[in-house]
């Protein structure tokens, strides 16, 4: 379509597999690739506030956007920053958010902005909902991950 002025839409491509996706979401938190059971213990103890800050920076989401996604009111977030640590439930929600965003980034081969556009766009397979809107619940996150898996395998949704 040379000369038509039409912009090429970047299509998602296959990720490099589950291990790549796993290390992607852990890296978004600024953590070393960890054994999942080690990560469970870290979440139970509460992640350091720096994991929140690293996720915010690396995902290119606003602080308010991440706080909304992880369901932490801004005043509480400011207290956690002063304390230097998130609580266990907050850490768990942060890891879930990182898994969803990391999966989208892997789907778009590391293109964070393309992943954010996809997360913010209504998806027919999600009943016209935007993935970012439903990612704050476990059920929603699982649906997004399943959709990403179907796209990676070329299964129409």
Q: What pLDDT sits at residue 22?
A: 56
Averaged over 88-117, what is the pLDDT?
96
Can you give the three-state secondary structure of the chain, one letter per residue?
CCCCCCCCCCCCCCCCCHHHHHHHHHHHCCCCCCCHHHHHHHHHHCCEHHHHHHHHHHHCCCHHHHHHHHCCCHHHHHHHHHHCECCHHHHHHHHHHHHHHHHHHHHCCCCHHHHHHHHCCCEHHHCCECHHHHCCCHHHHHHHHHHHHHHHCCCCC
Residues of the chain with pLDDT > 90, as a percent, come to 76
- The pLDDT assigned to 24 comes to 79
Average pLDDT, the chain: 87
* Alpha-carbon gap, residue 4 to 11, rounded angstroms: 19
Tokens of 52: 């929140």
pLDDT at residue 33, as a whole number: 67
Q: What is the reported pLDDT for 3?
A: 46
Q: Please report, for the chain, the start and end positions of each structural domain, with discontinuous segments joined by +.
A: 18-152
């Amino acid at each position: 379509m040379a000369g038509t002025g039409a912009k090429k839409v970047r299509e998602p491509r296959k990720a490099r597999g589950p291990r790549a996706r796993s290390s992607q979401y852990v890296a978004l938190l600024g953590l070393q690739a960890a054994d999942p059971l080690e990560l469970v213990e870290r979440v139970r103890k509460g992640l350091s506030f720096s994991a929140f800050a690293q996720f915010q920076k690396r995902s290119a989401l606003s602080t308010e956007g991440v706080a909304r996604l992880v369901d932490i009111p801004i005043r509480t977030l400011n207290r956690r920053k002063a304390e230097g640590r998130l609580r266990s439930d907050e850490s768990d929600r942060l890891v879930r958010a990182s898994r969803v965003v990391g999966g989208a980034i892997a789907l778009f081969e590391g293109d964070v902005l393309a992943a954010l556009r996809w997360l913010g766009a209504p998806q027919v397979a999600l009943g016209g909902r935007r993935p970012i809107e439903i990612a704050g619940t476990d059920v929603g996150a699982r649906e997004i991950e399943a959709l990403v898996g179907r796209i990676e395998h070329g299964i129409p949704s």
